[in-house]
């Protein structure tokens, strides 16, 4: 079997949703500048009162055996990297040889060890694994050595919901009622918002903890917007609410700062959503910067690379709970790893709605658990009835 064609499909459709889909955004590193701190959420184009413009790019890898691997959604810039940097390298290659292809792509892209180029490698790798599963007529987790369980516990990741105390508590109770025993909430205020911002952040944590009860897991995402001084101020204020972890308290290249934050805060620290490859994660582990690693499969190197990161983490006794953008690939990866190493899957309530809009088979938790996918490969298939317009990117 050989790779015969690679294409990226830019799909457009319309989603019906009553009200504001994005209620709020998270704090960002750039928010230290006042002109950016005031910006609101603007992730989707609103067409009417109850309709939104949906646009997603999916990668297709076609083979001469009639098997097509699907991956995505990805960004337009990642699609351009795929076509400009890797198409010539991959045409005519055996898509089942994932280790060989990963190494060739990595060695070709010497200036792309992180960022869009590594995301392109990640998407291609996942498409190759989709081909492998379809070729073997088996779910990918079977080829990875699983399953290690019959379902995966999920946590509701609440990015995009309002974070004022009253509305957050209402949403937290709602999702607890849906069977989620763990939730993650996102701070809107950061160091530039002063004491009032700290008060708002603490009020959010207090309200959500009260809403979900003392036994549920509560995670808190800083999204790289804190610094060491801010962590020192925030930690004693939120510690009484027993967070399972705070996430990405500092910029990912600040390994020593992340490690110092982990040392001074009285609860676990998660890191790695914006890190890449086994080499980047080895630096995090060497620094002692986290209790939980969070590689994104579509960013950090694909399934082939994340399995290596899991091995590194297992040596160090650190959990791996991947970032939740790629629900299908993540479920297959987790299902093939020991439950104590990968105990739970992130379900980004709003982003997974967006990313799975064009997919026929969606991964959605029921009563707080994800059933293992049973379709061959990754289980990705475009619902062509939802595609209103299409362009092929080159």
The proportion of the chain whose per-residue pLDDT surpasses 70, expressed as a percent, equals 100
- Summarised one tens digit per residue, pLDDT across range 18-67 is 989 999 999 999 999 999 999 998 789 999 889 999 999 999 999 999 99
How many Å apart are CA 378 and CA 314, to the nearest integer?
A: 24
Half-sphere exposure of residue 336: CA atoms within 13 angstroms, side-chain side: 23
Query: Domain limits of the chain?
Result: 3-137, 142-371
CA distances from 86 to 77, 108, 154, 352 (A): 14, 9, 35, 28
The fourth-level CATH superfamily of domain 3-137 is: Enolase-like, N-terminal domain (3.30.390.10)
Q: Does the active-site annotation cover 323?
A: yes
Residue 394's pLDDT band (boundaries 50, 70, 90)?
confident
- Burial tier of 200 (Cβ tally within 10 Å: 0-12, 13-18, 19+): middle
β-strand partners of 182 = 217
- Tokens representing 331 are 């479920």
The proportion of the chain whose per-residue pLDDT surpasses 90, expressed as a percent, equals 97
182 with 209: CB under 8 angstroms? no
How many Å apart are CA 309 and CA 334, to the nearest integer?
A: 12
Half-sphere exposure of residue 211: CA atoms within 13 angstroms, side-chain side: 25
* CATH assignment of 142-371, among 3.20.20.120, 3.40.718.10, 1.10.10.200, 3.90.1010.10: 3.20.20.120
Q: How far apart are the first and last CA of the chain?
A: 24
Degrees (nearest 5) of the Cα angle 120, 15, 183?
A: 70
**pTM value?**
0.97
What is the bridge-based pairing of β-strands 245-247 and 269-271?
parallel
How many Å apart are CA 315 and CA 305, to the nearest integer?
A: 16
- Summarised one tens digit per residue, pLDDT across range 209-240 is 999 999 999 999 999 999 999 999 999 999 99
Higher-confidence position of 252 and 287: 287
| Predicted local confidence at residue 217, as pLDDT | 98
- Tokens representing 145 are 């050595």
The catalytic position among 323, 325, 328, 332 is 323
Q: What is the mean pLDDT of the chain?
A: 97
- Tokens representing 391 are 């362009």
| Predicted local confidence at residue 43, as pLDDT | 83
Contacts of 348 (CB under 8 A, 6+ apart): 157, 159, 324, 325
- Summarised one tens digit per residue, pLDDT across range 138-188 is 999 999 999 999 999 999 999 999 999 999 999 999 999 999 999 999 999
| Predicted local confidence at residue 267, as pLDDT | 97
Closest CA to 242 of 215, 280, 277, 279: 215
């Amino acid at each position: 079997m050989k790779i015969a064609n690679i294409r990226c499909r830019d799909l457009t459709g319309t989603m019906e949703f009553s009200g504001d889909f994005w209620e709020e955004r998270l704090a960002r590193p750039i928010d230290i500048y006042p002109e950016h701190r005031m910006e609101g959420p603007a992730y989707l184009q609103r067409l009417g009162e109850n309709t939104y413009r949906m646009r997603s790019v999916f990668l297709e890898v076609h083979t001469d055996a009639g098997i097509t691997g699907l991956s995505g959604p990805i960004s337009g810039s990642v699609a351009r990297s795929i076509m400009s940097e890797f198409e010539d390298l991959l045409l005519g290659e055996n898509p089942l040889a994932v280790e060989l292809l990963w190494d060739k792509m990595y060695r070709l892209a010497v200036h792309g060890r992180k960022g869009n180029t590594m995301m392109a490698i990640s998407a291609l790798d996942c498409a190759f694994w989709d081909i492998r599963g379809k070729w073997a007529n088996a779910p990918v987790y079977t080829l990875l050595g699983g399953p290690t369980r019959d379902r995966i516990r999920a946590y509701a990741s609440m990015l995009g919901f309002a974070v004022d105390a009253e509305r957050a508590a209402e949403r937290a109770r709602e999702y607890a009622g849906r069977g989620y025993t763990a939730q993650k909430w996102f701070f809107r205020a950061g160091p530039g918002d002063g004491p009032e911002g700290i008060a708002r952040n603490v009020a959010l944590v207090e309200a959500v903890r009260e809403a979900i009860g003392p036994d549920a897991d509560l995670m808190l995402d800083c999204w790289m917007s804190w610094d060491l001084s801010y962590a020192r101020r925030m930690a004693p204020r939120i510690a009484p609410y027993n967070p399972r972890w705070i996430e990405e308290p500092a910029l990912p290249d600040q390994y020593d700062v992340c490690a110092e934050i982990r040392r001074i805060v009285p609860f676990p620290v998660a890191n790695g959503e914006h890190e890449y490859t086994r080499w980047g994660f080895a630096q995090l582990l060497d620094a002692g910067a986290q209790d939980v690693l969070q590689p994104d499969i579509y960013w950090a190197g694909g399934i082939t690379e994340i399995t290596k990161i899991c091995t590194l983490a297992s040596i160090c006794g650190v959990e791996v709970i991947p970032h939740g953008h790629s629900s299908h690939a993540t479920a297959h990866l987790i299902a093939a790893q020991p439950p104590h190493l990968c105990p739970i899957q992130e379900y980004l309530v709003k982003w997974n709605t967006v990313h799975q809009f064009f997919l026929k088979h969606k991964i959605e938790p029921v009563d707080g658990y994800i059933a293992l996918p049973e379709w061959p490969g990754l289980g990705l298939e475009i619902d062509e009835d939802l595609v209103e317009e299409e362009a092929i990117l080159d």
